[in-house]
Structure 1
Amino acid sequence: MDTTSRAADGLVTYVRSVADDLGGDVFEIDVNLDRELATAIVLVNSHVPTLAEFPLLLTWDEVSGWGLRIETDGHGDTAVLEFMGEDILPDPAQVEQFLLEATNGQNPGMVAAPAFRFPNAQDDLERRLAEFCE
């Protein structure tokens, strides 16, 4: 994704909207547009009950959308817990609900990563992201 595009600005705005819905649960946000695959990481303060000792990350990428991961080693290595599925850009309230259900011990997502698109595909993702700038 072109780092100077409206889509890039839209992704930052979208991720911030998700983080705003999560409120005080957000510890740190990172949006990365410099690689071939646009990604976002939202480190949250909450935990899933069965893995309470591991930091929990809400992640997004331009292929699979939102997912939950845990940091496994203190050095940035992560393991996937589940993916939200449904849509690559769900409403921020849906992402909040996904996280809430997971931290309440439910399994709201899917184990297999959805493949909504190929990286840098010529589809409507960039247009949809640019709409978050308006």
Structure 2
Amino acid sequence: MTEQVLVDASVGLGFQRYIQSVAEGVGAGIEQWCCRGEHPMEAYIALDREVPRFPGREVALLWEETCGWALAVETRSGEDLIVLGYFGDDAVPTADVVAAFGASVGTPDARMRRRASWTNDRPLADSDRTARLLRQYGHDAN
């Protein structure tokens, strides 16, 4: 395991396609998501949903190369987002799995999905495995 993901053209392309797949899966338009394909690789996908505990606050899926996916809500003061949980130990679960969770946020089955998949402990991703999985997203589209 290394500290950072080795980002080359195929990892960068795969990362963008992976994030785009998740964004499309949750119904986020191009203006609702962004990603940075260089160190540190990060992504933000705004969800058109609310978390009952935080009414009126924007909700987002976040991705970081060191820990994978997190569910977060905006603060009222414009400070850092409040992370509600992390999506297990896998930094690159399939786009369909992440999109299904994102689409369920704020629905009655969201609690069940969250309990089954999410953790409060920030995981440490295996950077070599992360790079290998992201490369596959770049190759799969060809």
Give aligned pairs, total: 129
> Which residue number in structure 2 is paired with residue 115 of structure 1?
124
Query: Residue 63 of structure 1: SS of its match in structure 2?
Result: coil
Counterpart for residue 128 of structure 1? 133
After TM superposition, the score normalised by the length of structure 1 is 0.82
Moved more, 44-53 or 2-11: 2-11
Tell me which residue corresponds to 1:48: 51
Q: Which of 6, 10, 29 is the equivalent residue of 1:6?
A: 10
Does the 8 Å CA contact 2:28/2:46 hold for their aligned counterparts? no
One-letter amino acid of the structure 2 residue matched with residue 125 of structure 1: T
Q: CA shift at 1:101, angstroms?
A: 4.3
Matched with 1:84 is 87
* Offset of residue 6 of structure 1: 1.0
Q: When the two structures are superposed, what TM-score results if normalisation uses the length of structure 2?
A: 0.77
Percent sequence identity is 22
Compared CA separation, residues 10 and 74, structure 1 to 2 (3 A): farther
Question: Any unmatched runs of 5+ in structure 2?
Answer: none
Deviations 1:94-126 (A, max 9, x none): 112322444225161111111123xxx4x1322
CA–CA distance in structure 1, aligned partners of residues 88 and 30 of structure 2: 22
CA RMSD of aligned residues (A): 2.3
Deviating more after overlay: 105-114 vs 21-30: 21-30
Q: Secondary structure at the match of 1:50?
A: coil
CA drift at 1:44: 1.1
Residue aligned with 2:111, SS: coil
C-alpha spacing 1:49/1:26, structure 2 compared with 1 (3 Å): farther
Q: CA deviation at 1:81?
A: 0.5
2:135 is aligned with what amino acid? A
Deviation of 1:25 after TM superposition, in Å, equals 7.7
Structure of higher RCO (CA pairs closer than 8 Å, 6+ residues apart): 2
C-alpha deviation, 1:73, in angstroms: 3.0
Q: Which amino acid aligns with 1:93?
A: D
